[in-house]
Amino acid sequence: MKRAGLLLLVALRCAAASAGETPDSRTRMLIDPVRVVASSDGLKNAGILCAPKYGQVPEGRFYQGSGIVLPPGGWTILDFGRELHGSLQIGSGAKSPKNGAKVRVRFGESVSEACSGLLGSANGATATNDHAIRDDVVLLPWLGRRETGETGFRFVRIDNPGKAPVHLEYVRAVSLMRPWRAAGSFKCSDARLNAVFDTAVRTVHLCCQDYIWDGIKRDRLVWMGDTHPETMAILTVFGAQDIIPATLDYAAATTPPDAAWMNNMPTYTLWWMRNLAAWYRFTGDKACVAKHGVYLEKTIERVLSKIGKDGVWKEDTFLDWPTRGDKKASAAGTQGLLRLALDDALFLLGALPEGNARVEALKKKTAAARGRIVPLDARGVKSASALLALSGLCGAKDMFAASLGRNGSSGVSTFYGYYMIEAMAEAGEMRCALDTVRDYWGGMLDMGATSFWEDFNLAWTNNSFRVDEMPVKGRRDIHGGFGAHCYIGFRHSLCHGWSAGPAPFLINRVLGIRPLAPGCGSVEVKPDLGGLEWAEGAMALPGGGSVEVRAWRKADGSTGFSVKAPPGVTIVAPGRENVEPLPRRTASVACRR
């Protein structure tokens, strides 16, 4: 009895001690470099750093070790093969000074960034240590190891700025990612589209850290507008992950609904409602909506108060950076976003408990305001045209003819490109939508991207060297030589979650798998191959598992398709005479690290 009481006391003390502790939802993966990009003259054996390692100092004979010795002024650049989020682990050997050795560590999402100094340095660099340290001088222990940094990177440059040699036993990356497995998938007859899908999935997976971040180098913040394409990608590929409501909760907890806008931008509050609606539509999670019930009501009231008698939004109309300087286009696009947000507001209000007179009155008020929203002239700007089309304020075919179908991928942006290809599909122009995915997102792949970027323009690729190449004389730097607004030069993020739109698009539109009712109890399957010979894949379901589809082009040009769904999921598939048995496939596949 005395022993039981003692054990209980110990347990209570342990619980008290851990009350302020929060488990990390991410897992650590140790990753060796895959190649040496370049090294200083005289350093011939840097490739040994790419060989398999024990991860222990010393790696070789006791006290002698192996690895490389960086002479004073020496340097090497290592490539880890793909964009990572995490830090760097360096093992320092016995041939380093016993009082410690200093090395300069520079992370880069491109080779040229890893070679760049900080903003304001003598070489006119545009790289910064904003949000995460990417350029630092660190002290290594003698015969020990040290971890440094936490940022987004693929390349690392290590310099010896001191007067004594530095012994590097090993260098490896520490990857931090959530241990998710993909239940949603996509593969088709076009290898380029497959590569785009895989890269989009990796991009959003990397950005799911403490919360859903916009980028893993910069800004590493929760931006509600950026989050919507990410939310759609997470739901369709990974399912109902708790990072989504946690991100929504954080944004609400830090933004008074009647005194501030999300991220200090009115349109981003509209996106918060759209994100909450996407979560509810996919999961049927009424408890989450109810938890935010009062906040939602106050938010809707504030949004309605900013609609003028002429049906036009009277607050700031930020859409994305490429349209920031075009007030008329931004105002037109915001009208479409406002209409979509009010549709979602009505959908969310319908999830609140019935019989609340205040909520019923707000439904009527919201419906009346929705009906007063008027379209404005988009002036041929694709982002604005897309929102007008998707909201129903303008016809999708009209917007395609006036703007979306003109000038190829000119005017497409990484964030609003998602809504552009959605609007193209809505207009029945899937071939054009897929060409846009191939040309625009594929253009980043052509420049060495392993994750998709904050911004991109196909014109940047003219006479530019790739992100995985050393600077080439006479050619432009695709990373450091472009950018605008807040992402000039190397401040430009090359892993930005808002660019992940092709992932949900290819599942929802090409495979045609979309939820019809909250909780995915009813799911539509309506494939649109857009010229592809075949496509197959799956959409994740909130309770686990997936709806699987395979579609193919028949000899007569029509589309045949087969569907596999778990019990309890009703499939609504127009043209069911085309539905054929699908051999059982493994729906859950490991997401690449």
Average pLDDT over residues 184-200: 98
Instruction: Determine the Cα–Cα distance for residues 331 and 324; give it in Å rounded to an integer.
Output: 10
Q: Is residue 138 part of a domain?
A: yes
Contact by Cβ (8 Å): 195, 203: no
Mean pLDDT of the chain: 93
Give the tokens for residue 457. Answer: 């323009």
**Average pLDDT of span 385-411:** 97
- Determine, yes or no, domain membership for 44: yes
514 found inside a domain: no
Q: How many folded domains does the chain comprise? A: 1
Q: Does the pLDDT at position 227 exceed 80?
A: yes
Convert the pLDDT of each residue in 432-478 to its tens digit: 999 999 999 999 999 999 999 999 999 999 999 999 999 999 999 99
Residue 119 lies in a domain: yes
- For residue range 472-528, list pLDDT tens digits in order: 999 999 999 999 999 999 999 999 999 999 999 999 999 999 999 999 999 999 999
Q: How confident is the model at residue 20 (pLDDT cuts 50, 70, 90)?
A: confident
**Residue 271 to residue 267: CA distance in whole angstroms:** 6
Smallest Cα–Cα separation from 315: which of 307, 324, 323?
Answer: 307
Q: In terms of pLDDT, which residue wins out, 1 or 271?
A: 271
* For range 204-215, the mean pLDDT: 98
On whether residue 145 sits in a domain, the answer given is: yes
Asked if residue 581 has pLDDT above 50, the reply is: no
Q: Which residues of 523-553 are buried (b: 16+ CB within 10 A; e: fewer)?
A: bbbbbbbbebebbbbbbbbbeebbbbbbbbb
The predicted pLDDT at position 14 comes to 45
What is the pTM for the complete model shown?
A: 0.93
Average pLDDT over residues 338-363: 96
Query: What's the confidence (pLDDT) of residue 241?
Result: 98
Proportion of the chain above pLDDT 70, given as a percent: 93
Note whether residue 533 is domain-resident.
no
Report pLDDT for 120: 66
Section 394-422 average pLDDT: 97
Q: Please identify which residue in the block is written with the tokens 């790696």.
A: 59
Q: Report the CATH number that the domain containing residue 162 is assigned in CATH.
A: 2.60.120.260
In a domain, 375, yes or no: no
- pLDDT tens string 147-156: 999 999 999 9
The residue segments making up the domain with residue 35 are 27-177
Give the pLDDT score at 10: 38
Would you say residue 152 lies in a domain?
Answer: yes
- Reported confidence tier of residue 12, pLDDT bands at 50, 70, 90: very low
